[in-house]
Structure 1
Amino acid sequence: GTTHRIAAEFIDLGIDNSAIHSLLFDNHSHNRVQILARALQNMQVLPAYKTSYTALSQDELNSFGHSKGDTEGIVNYGLSMKDIVFTAMFTENKDEGIIKISFRSKGDFDVNQYARKHFSGGGHINAAGGKSTDSLEGTIKKFIATLADANIE
């Protein structure tokens, strides 16, 4: 449809699609890639709940000289695994005294309702956020404890 016509017009105009791709996707800092690697190393899978989660402590973020935005999108990697329909990322922010939580889901599992009920958050059916004033470890324990009643299918 329309998208293909627009793409064809760009090609006719001589737009360099590899340059556009590179500008959009190939411009991460070394620190961001190291943070991604650590988040993937920290990834845990809870097969009984079709759930995964990862966490980054303030010390881990500091060790990579993180900048605002370096953790953007990392939560989505949890959903890339087979049979996972719910994922979370816990990011410690000692300056604000909170654990920032990002939730993502596939299908009908409503992370907006989940975040509102358990972590003072909200968002959309498949993408939401929340927060906790508990420790990183305490927040993760609470998260795991809520899964039995979450009806994740």
Structure 2
Amino acid sequence: MDNTRRQLLFDNVDWTPVVSAIQASSSVHLVTHCMPDADGIGSQIALYVALKQLGKRVVMHNRDAIPYICGYLEHAQEIKSGVVDLPQDADMVIALDAGSQARLGMDSSHFEGKLFLNIDHHISNEMYGDIQLIDDRYCSTGAMIFDLLIKLDIPLDAAIASAIYATVITDTSSFRQSTVNGDVHRMVANLIDAGANPYESARALYFSHRHERFLLLPLALSTLTIDDEGRSAWMYVDASMYETSGGSAKDTEGFIDYARSIGGVCVAVFIRREEDSWKVSMRGDGVNVGLISEQFGGGGHRYAAGFSTDMGLDVLMASLKQSVTRILNSSH
């Protein structure tokens, strides 16, 4: 696609340090957060293809395997995970969509002796690394890569466009978030013109779930409770539900939307068991759930945030409900 047809989403972002670092590098590792989602994976793939076009040696590596819904993306199977032998000649690591270095789930030795870049759209980012570009105005980290590629003068191709499209459609909940505006839709038009296929993307991201997900879903829905005079909705999944259904944490993607879709609900909370901890996801409608998340050591966005904790479920629920009630009462 002709670069002249693309416009920056934000023209007041200083990409110079990132562009200069990339131009000076020769071998790059791309990483994203634990339990990666489509934004992390799509951002990796889009930047991977772009850096390869620049003649860089590039490796994509994460602690955890890609989610099955991202398997349709070209180059997804080239992403390494777990404990693997990686090339030792990398001079740069770029972390994508990870709010903290701890969220990468990798030993600090992985980053030693390398220039460390941190690109993310979460306002709660802990500003780790040598160079940080953090901007929560972007609807996804993949949208940041869209602007970066303009600065690098890299044209879109079908692989890049499809990867960025996946980041946008998932992180905006199919264009339902407040970060969506006309510029986002113009970007999406560019992506489609370059080869992103909305039908194939939707089929892979939303209509390719494992059947275990639908055995797990009614168990999760059975925990649904409404509190705060109808203003908060709560759901959870524990280890026994995984065992009963044959499902896993990966099958719970989007479960929070059931709580969120109830009329009058301003805060939706979904809690799921992950190995030896609980992962809490929150969505707010006019309520800053990011403030609640920060109280528990987490982060995210104003209206979409989360954290992990090793509290017991009962203690967690009691403490979290106090925080939710407090912020709801202060918001009205």
TM-score by length of 1: 0.78
One-letter code aligned to 2:252: T
Q: Per chain length, whose mean CA-contact separation is higher, i.e. which structure has more relative contact order (CA < 8 Å, sep 6+)?
A: 1
Q: Distance in 2 between matches of 1:73 and 1:31?
A: 14
- Displacement of 1:125: 0.5
Q: Distance in 2 between matches of 1:17 and 1:128?
A: 27
One-letter code aligned to 1:148: T
Matched, 1:82 2:268: no
Task: Return 5+ residue gaps in structure 1 as ranges.
Answer: 11-15
One-letter code aligned to 1:115: S
SS, match of residue 48 in structure 1: coil
Counterpart in the other structure of 1:43: 224
- The 4+ residue runs of structure 1 with deviation greater than 6 A are 3-6
Q: How does 1:1-153 map to 2 (within 5 A)?
A: 2=186, 21-48=202-229, 50-93=231-274, 95-96=275-276, 98-107=277-286, 109-117=287-295, 119-150=296-327, 151-153=330-332
Q: Would the alpha carbon gap of residues 68 and 82 (structure 1) be closer, same or farther in structure 2, given more than 3 Å must change?
A: closer
Q: Distance in 1 between matches of 2:232 and 2:310?
A: 23
One-letter code aligned to 2:267: F
Equivalent pair of 1:50/1:152 in contact (CA under 8 Å): no
One-letter code aligned to 1:91: R
The structure with the largest alpha-carbon Rg is 2
Identity of aligned residues (%): 20
C-alpha RMSD of matched pairs (Å): 2.7
Q: Would the alpha carbon gap of residues 64 and 146 (structure 1) be closer, same or farther in structure 2, given more than 3 Å must change?
A: same
- Displacement of 1:146: 2.3
State the aligned residue count: 146
Task: Return 5+ residue gaps in structure 2 as ranges.
Answer: 1-184
